[in-house]
Chains A and B, each alone.
Chain A
Amino acid sequence: MRNISTFAKGGVHPADRKELTCTKEIVRLPVPETIILPFSQHLGVPAKPIVEKGDVVHAGEKIGEAAGFISAAIHSPVNGRIVELKEIFLPTGMRTKAAVIAVDEQDPDIKTEKQDWKSMDPSEMIAKVKDLGIVGMGGATFPANVKFSVPKGKKAEYLVINGVECEPYLTSDHRIMLEKAQEVLEGALIIAKMVDAGNIYIAIENNKRDAMEHLEMIIKKNNYPIEIQPLKMKYPQGDEKQILKATIGKEVPSGALPIDIGAVVSNVGTTQAVYQAIVNNKPLIERVVTVSGDAIKNPGNFLVTIGTPIQVLIDACGGFSEQPEKMIAGGPMMGFGFYDLQTPVMKGTSGILALTKKESRKSETTSCISCGRCVQVCPMGLQPTRLFKNIDHGNYSETLELGLLDCKECGCCAYICPAKLPLVQGMRLGKSMLRKMKK
């Protein structure tokens, strides 16, 4: 185990609330009668539907084809029939096409033989990851095959498996590390082979000591060339740039990618999905979701078929204990609010949170009092208050010079802001204006 560390600049410490679910074992949720599969569950171009209304589909069958370089395939998780192709709204506010599937067989087995990954070559494995629709499952949903294809002229030295899970409430990665440790570790070895990285680290915050010890035990037993990197708790440590600073001590330059400093980062859930794809030929058709928040009667972790309406998850937790003030897909810092409980679980849905009025703490916006707290917590060293004022006044070109494009909307500034200014919203507006100006 390596020495404990963290990233230097900024960060916040919201109450982690992981005690609600961190001891809850992953429970497999039965497949509902109807599932909804959006064709855009990833970053980039939506998948192109290759099925039509009335088609019969089988579990593991591809129903949407990757439609560009940054895109991902969509597979049916069940045997069933396409009853409708319709437009739906995602929690991000995006409108996308989705397939509604009437499920015939509740729990079909995808029959495959175990493959020996050691005999595969990297390009074959990357093709498989692409074909099986694997995307980053930490929330950003970046297509995994693109991430694991090291561009010519670059070299991956480090593979960092991201077990930080710095978002409050969420414990799905924590449970995966405890319950599927073998698959995570082997998945790490598989990715290391894909990207040809010599150093493999698993970075975990020290609120998950049990996961560290469990992984360490298996690593020792099998003599895996993997090291555990314990990290001090701090949000947003799970961000690629912060985790790399904390783990290998290097800063990803502004505007560059981790591979530019010789690193590849993969989330724990993704790593396990890669294992399942390579070894079991299993497309990304299910994931672990934390359902939590004080408005949930019995919070827990569930293995959920992708496309399952969120209502089914709420019911599995015994419903609401009180009327939630907010429903969130993802973590509370970067997740999106939604209002429709029929919204489906997607590849990037790490958590479903039902927050009470008290938890979500609505308070009035006052004018900025220049306290400078946003400046002190910004992990990218930006000046959110100054950016916000410039965006407010329409000085977009100055925001460019102040580094607005480095903002990744982690939410530290808006979290800490005593005036409760909608800083992240402002940054998003500024960035979209900059993109428009570019065109």
Chain B
Amino acid sequence: MSEENIMFRIESSPQIRDKDNTAKIMWYVVLALIPAGIWGVYNFGAHALVVICVSVITAVVLEYLFTRLFRKGSIHDGSAVLTGLLVAYNMPPGVTLYVPIIATVFAIAVAKWSFGGLGTNWINPALSGRVFVFFSWTGAMTTWTAPRAWAAVDATSSATVLSSVKTGMIDFSGTVNGPAGFLMNHGYQTSDLAQKITSWFSHTLGMNISPIDVDLFFGNVPGCIGEVSAFLIIIGAIFLFSKKIITWYIPVSYLVSFSFFIWVFGGLQFGTGYFSGDILFHLVSGGLMLGALFMATDMVTSPTTPLGMLIFGVGAGFLTFLFRIYGSLPEGVSLAIIIMNIFVPMIDRYVRPKRFGIVKNRSAA
């Protein structure tokens, strides 16, 4: 047992490890978000790109300072880039630059590092940043840019579909064919493409869908930089599913529970009664897809057991429905996820997987 023999690395078993690591997960999520970001920049103009760059750079610089200060973590794990990206995706395209900077600082410094950095935060950093600036600079956070497909519209006066519905419904009485019908009646802009697709659907397949839903699906609507195109967000999420980075538990339970409550109660305000909610409209509008597929699935701030994830998703779906339909704000995804974040430690404490070989009747052992 001479000293020169020591040349092999000795480690505890297992001696082999899966190829996924934290950095790979984070960078894959970043990659999956890129199509939606490109669309945002194309759709809303170069300022959206500036917002994205400013947020990401702020996040990385701040993260670097904290990793040096606390001598732990690394900017190479990609988590700071991801946080910066998600903050930017939750900003209106024309926002004044100090807003995303403050949101990012809040996300990295308060939400993430005051609890100890990666893995220890209880709240989704990007969402906390968004909510912080939303309530502090509400005006800047609710001024929208018209999408490229809307020709000749005053850019600053455009409103998102959800805020148009919310404000329009305040003194509404009577009956209308759901939120899409309401918007059509009030002359909400739709793109030429959406109208073509809609007429193709009704002529060829005999299906009636609103051009509003088509625009929402592809992202030809005003909204936050990265959340408007449900289509591209779903593409990114499918990539993550295929790489087994995210599991189906949270997105599916979130969307199913949300759809269920919308279906049951969503039609009431339009006078069409119970079980008449417009599921499609609500699924593709607002930040739901980005929230359900990329924010609620944040591993750090979601439960660790499959059953816990289902509970988390169902809760987030219910709260999103509640805020969106009955809240005073048009949108509730961020708050719904943040509130469910609060429940995560409790869910993880009480929800346990079924153990192998634990039988109720202990006499067998």
Encode B1-33 as 1/0 by CB contact (under 8 A) with A: 100011111111111111111111100000000
Q: How many A residues are at the interface, by size bracket? A: 35 or more
Instruction: Specify which chain A residues have a CB less than 8 angstroms from the CB of B315 in the assembled complex.
Output: none
> Contact check: which of B12, B16, B365 meets A355 at CB < 8 Å?
B16
Q: Are B18 and A416 neighbours in the complex by a CB distance under 8 Å?
A: yes
| Complex: A386 Cα to B6 Cα, angstroms | 35
| Complex: A256 Cα to B24 Cα, angstroms | 40
| Complex: A342 Cα to B4 Cα, angstroms | 13
Q: Are A335 and B365 neighbours in the complex by a CB distance under 8 Å?
A: no
Q: Are A371 and B16 neighbours in the complex by a CB distance under 8 Å?
A: no
Q: Are A367 and B73 neighbours in the complex by a CB distance under 8 Å?
A: yes
| Chain B nearest Cβ from A38, distance in angstroms | 14
The yes or no answer to A409 lying at the interface (CB within 8 A) is yes
| Complex: A324 Cα to B19 Cα, angstroms | 19
The yes or no answer to B309 lying at the interface (CB within 8 A) is yes
> Contact check: which of B1, B10, B16, B365 meets A332 at CB < 8 Å?
B16
Interface residues of A in 211-259 (CB under 8 A from B): 241, 245, 251-256
Q: Are A419 and B119 neighbours in the complex by a CB distance under 8 Å?
A: yes
Instruction: Specify which chain B residues have a CB less than 8 angstroms from the CB of A381 in the assembled complex.
Output: 353-356, 358
Q: Are A385 and B16 neighbours in the complex by a CB distance under 8 Å?
A: no
Q: Are B15 and A360 neighbours in the complex by a CB distance under 8 Å?
A: yes
Instruction: Specify which chain A residues have a CB less than 8 angstroms from the CB of B305 in the assembled complex.
Output: 372, 375, 383
Instruction: Specify which chain B residues have a CB less than 8 angstroms from the CB of A414 in the assembled complex.
Output: 12-14, 17
The yes or no answer to B278 lying at the interface (CB within 8 A) is no
Encode A368-384 as 1/0 by CB contact (under 8 A) with B: 11111011101111110
Instruction: Specify which chain B residues have a CB less than 8 angstroms from the CB of A338 in the assembled complex.
Output: 8, 10
Instruction: Specify which chain A residues have a CB less than 8 angstroms from the CB of B68 in the assembled complex.
Output: none
Given contacts A14-B16, A328-B15, A418-B18, contact A369 B300 (CB under 8 A): yes
> Nearest chain-A residue to B364 (Cβ)?
A253
Number of interchain pairs (Cβ within 8 Å): 195
| Complex: A81 Cα to B304 Cα, angstroms | 59
| Chain B nearest Cβ from A167, distance in angstroms | 10
| Complex: A380 Cα to B348 Cα, angstroms | 18
> Nearest chain-A residue to B12 (Cβ)?
A425
The yes or no answer to A326 lying at the interface (CB within 8 A) is yes
| Complex: A241 Cα to B358 Cα, angstroms | 13
Encode A384-412 as 1/0 by CB contact (under 8 A) with B: 01100000000000000011001001010
Interface residues of B in 51-90 (CB under 8 A from A): 72-74, 77
Encode A9-23 as 1/0 by CB contact (under 8 A) with B: 100101000000000
Q: Considering residues B1, B23, B355, B358, which has the most beta carbons from chain A within 10 angstroms of its beta carbon?
A: B355
Instruction: Specify which chain B residues have a CB less than 8 angstroms from the CB of A428 in the assembled complex.
Output: 12
The yes or no answer to B117 lying at the interface (CB within 8 A) is yes
The yes or no answer to B299 lying at the interface (CB within 8 A) is yes
| Complex: A417 Cα to B16 Cα, angstroms | 11
| Complex: A409 Cα to B355 Cα, angstroms | 15
Instruction: Specify which chain A residues have a CB less than 8 angstroms from the CB of B17 in the assembled complex.
Output: 361, 363, 414-415, 417, 420
The yes or no answer to A334 lying at the interface (CB within 8 A) is yes
> Contact check: which of B13, B300, B348, B364 meets A411 at CB < 8 Å?
B13
Given contacts A326-B8, A375-B304, contact A424 B13 (CB under 8 A): yes
Interface residues of B in 316-365 (CB under 8 A from A): 348, 352-359, 362, 364-365
Residues of chain A touching chain B, judged by Cβ–Cβ distance below 8 Å, are 9, 12, 14, 88-89, 168, 241, 245, 251-256, 260-261, 323-328, 332-342, 353, 355, 359-364, 366-372, 374-376, 378-383, 385-386, 402-403, 406, 409, 411, 414-420, 422, 424-425, 428
* Extra contacts besides A366-B118, A417-B18 (15): CB < 8 Å: A254-B356, A325-B8, A328-B15, A333-B16, A334-B14, A336-B13, A339-B7, A340-B5, A353-B15, A366-B74, A372-B302, A381-B353, A402-B352, A415-B18, A425-B12
Show 7 residue pairs from A and B whose CB-CB distance is below 8 angstroms, ordered by the A residue. Answer: A323-B7, A325-B9, A355-B16, A369-B22, A403-B358, A411-B13, A414-B14
